[in-house]
Amino acid sequence: MKMQQVSDHCFAVLNEKNRVCDANSGLINRGGGVVIDTQSDLPHARQMIEMFGKVWPAMPKRVVNTHEDGDHVWGNQLFEGAEIIAHKSVPERMKLEAAPEETQQLINGVKDPAKRKFLEEHHPGAAAAGKQLAEDYDLGGVELVPPTTLFEERYELDLDGTEAHLIYVGPCHQVGDTIIHVPKERVVFAGDVLFRQCTPMGWTGSFQQWFQCLDLIDQLNPEVIVPGHGPICGLEGVREMKAYLQYVIEESKGCFADGLTSLDAAKRMEFGPYGDWRAPARLYMNVERAYREFRNDPADAPWDKLATFDAIYTVAKAKGIEAEF
Ligand SMILES: [Zn+2]
């Protein structure tokens, strides 16, 4: 984990391994202090608070959750008394998507020899994902703390003369997707609408909405973007992400027309120029999302998480690479 200053008053804490749950956090050290996203467990959240403490000595008065996924909200409880701001969908969606028990059960499962054996036999992908998570994370003590201030389309903060605009852009990666634009400093905190040098994982929404959101970031013309996952970037990160999604949807169209399942399609498709992004076999999820659109499935159709990990694992094995999530 490292802290990086990205403009006069904007900072990022980056999880450099860049695998699942390695989410970034942001800080604006003006107007009481604003933290953006709170990490995946309490030890990581404490480390983030300590790092930001070097540039903002008090506990920040505000927290923004860019969306409902656990890796962006599981440290909320450490910001006692803070105003926590998110899109209006987030409180309900958090209960569905970020119940810490489910992930903790997987992490504990792989630590128990009998349970691990069962998982390895029946869900080899979930077992591998659990082992990877157990290397870095322990969700012990995490309690879901929902946002206290909800907004619909847009919410503006005046931080002692520096404005921060919260703009709702979902659903493209999750239902609650929000970006934070600091115009004066030409910074965008993008949350998970932008993955950088790692393969995106989209859960709900549509490709169309995702493209629109990336176009919006382009129009805002920031100098620096802090993605939800991966190193900071400029607009080249947005354009690469868009090109990736376009590549996936085009390739998926052909496979769908050939009658392949989404899993077989992901196995057949080349990683192309994206093979050196972290966890390239997460391609499966993006193909499956494209298939859901081709089939006119509801945008928020649920995912079986164990089966999803298994499918990513199967794709990695088919490609002869280490399974990484
Ligand atoms: Zn995330």
Q: pLDDT tens for residues 10-57? A: 999 999 999 999 999 999 999 999 999 999 999 999 999 999 999 999
Strand partners, 36: 26, 64
Q: Residue 21 C-alpha to ligand 1 middle, in angstroms?
A: 6
How many residues in total does the chain contain?
A: 325
Measuring CA to CA, which residue among 3, 35, 2, 9 is closest to residue 186? 9
The percentage of the chain sitting over the pLDDT mark of 90, rounded to a whole number, equals 98
Residue 135 burial (CB < 10 Å; 0-12/13-18/19+)?
exposed
The whole-model pTM stands at: 0.97
Residue 21: both structure tokens together: 């749950």
How many other C-beta atoms are found inside a 10 Å radius of the C-beta of residue 275? 12
Could you report the per-residue pLDDT of 271-298, keeping only the tens digit for each? Answer: 999 999 999 999 999 999 999 999 999 9
In whole numbers, what is the pLDDT of the chain averaged over residues? 97
pLDDT of residue 156: 98
Q: Where are the beta strands (DSSP E) in 160-299?
A: 162-168, 178-182, 187-195, 224-229
From first CA to last CA, the distance across the chain in angstroms is: 18
Q: Residue 39 C-alpha to ligand 1 middle, in angstroms?
A: 9
pLDDT of residue 299: 83
Decide: 272 and 247 in contact? Cβ < 8 Å. Answer: yes
Q: Residue 23 C-alpha to ligand 1 middle, in angstroms?
A: 5
Which DSSP letter does residue 233 get? Answer: B
Alpha-carbon torsion (181, 227, 234, 220), positive or negative? negative
Q: Residue 80 C-alpha to ligand 1 middle, in angstroms?
A: 22
pLDDT of residue 275: 95
Q: Residue 231 C-alpha to ligand 1 middle, in angstroms?
A: 13
**Binning pLDDT at 50, 70 and 90, where does residue 234 land?**
very high
Residue whose tokens read 């409180």: 91
Distances (CA, A) of 236 to 92, 108, 119, 225, 249: 34, 39, 40, 10, 20
Q: Residue 22 C-alpha to ligand 1 middle, in angstroms?
A: 7
Q: Residue 259 C-alpha to ligand 1 middle, in angstroms?
A: 32
pLDDT of residue 207: 95
Q: Residue 282 C-alpha to ligand 1 middle, in angstroms?
A: 13
Q: Residue 98 C-alpha to ligand 1 middle, in angstroms?
A: 11
Q: Residue 59 C-alpha to ligand 1 middle, in angstroms?
A: 23
pLDDT of residue 300: 85
Strand partners, 84: 63
Measuring CA to CA, which residue among 82, 72, 14, 92 is closest to residue 48? 14
Could you report the per-residue pLDDT of 72-117, keeping only the tens digit for each? Answer: 999 999 999 999 999 999 999 999 999 999 999 999 999 999 999 9
